[in-house]
A and B are shown apart, each in its own frame.
Chain A
Amino acid sequence: MEITLRIRRYNPEVDEKPYWAEYTLENVERTDRVLDLLHRVKWEIDGTLSFRRSCAHGVCGSDAMRINGMNLLACKALVKDFVKGAKGRIQVEPILGLPVIKDLIVDMDTFFEHYRTVMPYFINDEEPPERERLQSPEERAIFDESTKCILCAACTTSCPSFWANETYLGPAAIVQAHRFIFDSRDQAASERLAILSEENGVWRCRTIYNCTMACPREIPITQLIAEVKKEIGRR
């Protein structure tokens, strides 16, 4: 099939402002991924096209982008999801709400700053037991969903609350906090909850559900945020 790839491009050294560029690709398979198409543009047509990707298998979280208006991983988005006939168009832009560095690459500093704010690491000052800190399967299940996050930023950059105000920690940071808050072995839940009780924490979430729809790992993000809200309410 034939696909016209419409890409939002921007090179701050040359371009005054971002613009749309179109590339027509022939012999595209229905099962090709959007990432494959980007590769073809970069390798066969224009080597200056810039985007991030690493694993190409939905694990590393490098290639979140806005494809036909939805935040997706280019390596998981198949052409057949967008084009049914023998010909079609697919539009690719950088994720919204973060400054564009070049083409599809955005500056993730704010995102990772918010991530660090919630102390996304295991905290327990007690002497570790001889073998390991035990946990029951039930205790583990409570935060199972939040362990799946790959920090691709698809959720945070789909959130209108974050678009409006980038001081909002955002869904990804809250999911990461959830991962440790509800871990029975961790001891810093109250510290994290206190951080998230601030104006820029969970209360900026307006239950819009964009994050849940955007998550390539199918984490029920809005629900996890609600669990954190409830936990703060209980303290």
Chain B
Amino acid sequence: MTGTPSYNRFETLAWRYMRLSGVLIIPLVFGHLAIVHLINSVATIDYQWVVETRWAYLGWRLYDAFLLWFAGLHGFNGLRTVINDYVHNRTANRVLNYGAALFLILVLALGSIALIGTPIPEALANLP
């Protein structure tokens, strides 16, 4: 046969990513659930708690950053898959895919800005 066949690297990568991120998300999500819903309670958690208690530690910021990016991209790729499966009209398919991508960018940007931009409060200075 002639020439080098061209592989669709994007779809291959997307598939790999889903598997890998899926495994990573399991501990991240359950950890998050445990911290936010079991150990603490969403009724008492507020801005103050997140910024002063949790995000005082770089480790927790990284944890949340991983969760944000891995779960965000994982969810988006899943949504893209569903759209491509079920929406056969070209225009509608495009609109929905771009919409989903836009939403993803918005969520990632907002989350990242909060994670990076929130100043490390004084609490850090009084580490036990």
Q: A165-B88, A233-B16 are in contact. Are A194 and B7 (CB under 8 A)?
A: yes
Tell which of B1, B12, B15, B88 touches A191, judged by Cβ atoms closer than 8 Å.
Answer: B1
Contact between chains at B85 and A164 (CB < 8 Å): yes
Tell me, yes or no, whether B14 is within 8 Å of chain A by CB. yes
Interface size on B, residues (CB 8 A): 16
Q: Which residues of chain A are near B84, meaning CB under 8 Å?
A: 165, 199
CB of B12 within 8 A of CB of A190, answer no
Is A198 within 8 A of B16, CB to CB?
no
Q: Which of B38-73 contact A (CB under 8 A)?
A: none
Dominant secondary structure at the B interface: helix
Q: Tell whether A197 pairs with B11 under 8 Å between CB atoms, given A123-B1, A191-B1.
A: yes
Interface size in chain A (residues, C-beta < 8 A): 22
- Contact with B1, one of A125, A165, A229 (Cβ below 8 angstroms): A125
Q: State which residues 1-53 of B face A: CB under 8 Å.
A: 1, 4-9, 11-12, 14-16
Q: What separation, in Å, do the CA atoms of A203 and B10 have in the docked complex?
A: 11
CB < 8 Å: which of B5, B11, B16 contacts A199? B11
Given pairs A197-B8, A197-B11, A235-B7, 20 additional interface contacts (CB within 8 A)? A125-B1, A161-B85, A164-B85, A165-B86, A165-B88, A190-B4, A190-B5, A194-B5, A194-B6, A195-B5, A198-B11, A199-B84, A201-B8, A203-B14, A203-B15, A204-B85, A232-B7, A232-B12, A233-B12, A233-B16
* Bound-complex Cα distance A187 to B84 (A): 32
Shortest Cβ distance from A124 into B: residue:
B1
Please, which residues of chain B bring their CB within 8 A of the CB of A221? Answer: none
Q: Which residues of B contact A (CB under 8 A)?
A: 1, 4-9, 11-12, 14-16, 84-86, 88
Contact between B5 and A229, CB atoms less than 8 A apart: no
Q: A83 an interface residue at 8 Å Cβ cutoff?
A: no
Residues of A within 8 A of B15 (CB): 203, 229, 233
The distance in angstroms between the C-alpha atoms of A123 and B88, with both chains bound, is 34
Q: 4 nearest interchain CB pairs?
A: A194-B5, A197-B8, A164-B85, A197-B7
Q: List 5 A-B contacts (CB under 8 A).
A: A194-B8, A195-B5, A203-B12, A204-B85, A233-B12
- State the Cβ distance, A208 to closest chain B Cβ, in Å: 12
A123 to B5, CA, bound (A): 15
Residues of A within 8 A of B14 (CB): 203
B5 touches A193 (CB 8 A): yes
List of A residues within 8 angstroms of B5 by Cβ = 190-191, 193-195
A188 interface hit (Cβ, 8 Å): yes
On chain A, the residues within 8 Å of B11 by CB distance are: 197-199, 201, 203
B6 cross-chain contacts in A, Cβ below 8 A: 194
Q: How far is the CA of A196 from the CA of B124 in the complex (A)?
A: 53
Residues of A within 8 A of B9 (CB): 197
